[in-house]
Amino acid sequence: MMDEISYWMTSMMKNKPNYDCFHGGIYSVNPALVQLDFSSNVNPLGISKDLLNDVSRELGSLCTTYPDPSCRELKKSILDYLGLELDPKWLLVGNGATELIHIFARTFIRGKVVISAPTFCEYELSARRLGATIKFVPLKNWEHDPEIILKEAKEGCDAVFLCNPNNPTGVLSTESARKIIENIDPHTQMFLDECFIELVEESDKKNNSMIELVSEYKNLVILRSMTKSFSLAGIRLGYCVCNPNLINLMLDNMISWNVNGVAQKIGMLVLKDKSYLENSRRLIRRERNFMVKELKKKTKFSPMSSDVNYFLIDVSDQSSTEVRNYLLNNRGILVRDCSTFTGMGLKHIRVAVKKHIENAILIDALSSMES
């Protein structure tokens, strides 16, 4: 990791004018080649048939009626689910969490931002589109580095972006995130992406989420993604929670009816199922343990420790691009080549934790690369 970071410090910190923000998913390659997608890291439990039946009964009117532009019912359901005694004006709902990253950036970024990296590329993309100077602060032992982040922020910056648990590492860095929130200048906006926190073990999740701090810190924006937590990638649904003064400023950059009626309806329905996330976390823990154990036993690759539904694999003497291409072309399996994350070299792929039979197929394919 150190080698990669020094490489990155010298080359990647220069502003890249035509920045490409790469994602996983079947459309990142020729979709006809993909039989199993391990590159998208959404909840492996999927969506229930009963829920789909409920929605299909209302599909006609959902398609022909303008949706509530303020998502009032959905906001009530979200606050109820979160158990927060806040007014709905503390919430902003987006067409996926990604929309809210860009709305946040457009509202608050003018000059400089600090990004703890490697991480999800949309923070960088949103800042670049605004012509901002970006200071990347490398992870330290895979965690956010409060000392350097606070030092960079102190020199003047509009916003700091943190992701907890982080993508692509899957690692929680809660104490560092807390330290940064507590010590940062209140005029700097703190953007904390918790899009995967609901997939962290329940006992840990409670202590790791900073969502309750929004009433204390007026500069703290917490991002959540129902896309990730409830497997709604095609539906697109996310929200952020923060002080209403920030929401009001962001509202000036929102487009009316940004969240369609089907998404609002499905969002309310998934939140009713109280056991869904608990079952998801159980599945993820069991399958992640299975995958890590089997990878260590049967392959030359080294899985890294993770707190969520995806993890990095060190691909040893091969390159991540070679491994991705081999699996795709020979087995129809798509994994995430991490070389496109700012700050990472060719040493890692990222795989999602899926259902057992699918995970076993991935292990089998990776073991066949031994020879």
Ligand X SMILES: Cc1ncc(COP(=O)(O)O)c(C=O)c1O
Q: Which range in 44-52, 152-160, 224-232, 317-325 contacts ligand X by CB under 6 A?
A: 224-232
**Residue 227 interacts with ligand X (CB under 6 A): yes or no:** yes
- C-alpha separations of 79 from 88, 92, 269, 332 in Å: 7, 11, 14, 41
**Residue 229 interacts with ligand X (CB under 6 A): yes or no:** no
Nearer to ligand X, 128 or 228 (CB): 228
**Among residue numbers 290 through 349, which ones bind ligand X (CB under 6 A)?**
none
> What is the smallest separation between the CB atom of 98 and ligand X, expressed in angstroms?
3
Angle at CA 180, nearest 5°, toward 138 and 195?
Answer: 75
Q: Which range in 95-103, 170-178, 180-188, 203-211 contacts ligand X by CB under 6 A?
A: 95-103
Nearer to ligand X, 88 or 118 (CB): 118
**For residues 239 and 94, is the Cβ–Cβ distance under 8 A?**
yes
Closest CA to 219 of 179, 189, 248, 245: 189
Nearer to ligand X, 98 or 340 (CB): 98
**Residue 225 interacts with ligand X (CB under 6 A): yes or no:** yes
From candidates 8, 90, 108, 120, binder to ligand X by CB under 6 A:
120
**Residue 98 interacts with ligand X (CB under 6 A): yes or no:** yes
Tokens of residue 60, six digits = 């006609």
Nearer to ligand X, 126 or 299 (CB): 126
> What is the smallest separation between the CB atom of 240 and ligand X, expressed in angstroms?
11
SS3 for the chain is CHHHHHHHHHHCCCCCCCCCCCCCCHHHCCHHHCCEECCCCCCCCCCCHHHHHHHHHHHHHHHHCCCCCCCHHHHHHHHHHHCCCCCHHHEEEECCHHHHHHHHHHHHCCCEEEEEECCCCHHHHHHHHCCCEEEEEECECCECCHHHHHHHHHCCCCEEEEECCCCCCCCCCHHHHHHHHHHCCCCCEEEEECCCHHHCCHHHHHHHCCHHHHHCCCCEEEEEEHHHHCCCCCCCCEEEECCHHHHHHHHCCCCCCCCCHHHHHHHHHHHHCCCHHHHHHHHHHHHHHHHHHHHHHHCCCEECCCCCCEEEEECCCCCHHHHHHHHHHHHCEECEEHHHCCCCCCCEEEEECCCHHHHHHHHHHHHHHHC
Nearer to ligand X, 143 or 193 (CB): 193
From candidates 143, 193, 198, 358, binder to ligand X by CB under 6 A:
193
From candidates 238, 267, 303, 343, binder to ligand X by CB under 6 A:
238
- CB-based closest residue to ligand X: 96
Closest CA to 81 of 192, 221, 224, 248: 224
> What is the smallest separation between the CB atom of 120 and ligand X, expressed in angstroms?
4
Residue 156's CB is within 10 A of a number of other CB atoms, namely 11
Q: Which range in 223-231, 258-266, 332-340, 360-368 contacts ligand X by CB under 6 A?
A: 223-231
From candidates 44, 67, 88, 96, binder to ligand X by CB under 6 A:
96
Site string for ligand X, 157-186 (x = CB under 6 A): ------x---x-------------------
From candidates 12, 34, 97, 197, binder to ligand X by CB under 6 A:
97
**How many binding residues for ligand X (CB under 6 A)?**
12
Nearer to ligand X, 79 or 163 (CB): 163
Residue 67 and residue 58: Cα distance in Å, rounded?
A: 13
> What is the smallest separation between the CB atom of 225 and ligand X, expressed in angstroms?
3
**Residue 126 interacts with ligand X (CB under 6 A): yes or no:** no
Nearer to ligand X, 67 or 94 (CB): 94
Q: Which range in 46-54, 139-147, 220-228, 242-250 contacts ligand X by CB under 6 A?
A: 220-228
**Among residue numbers 30 through 49, which ones bind ligand X (CB under 6 A)?**
none
Nearer to ligand X, 42 or 246 (CB): 42
**Residue 116 interacts with ligand X (CB under 6 A): yes or no:** no
Give the footprint of ligand X on this chain (CB under 6 A): 96-98, 120, 163, 167, 193, 195, 225, 227-228, 238
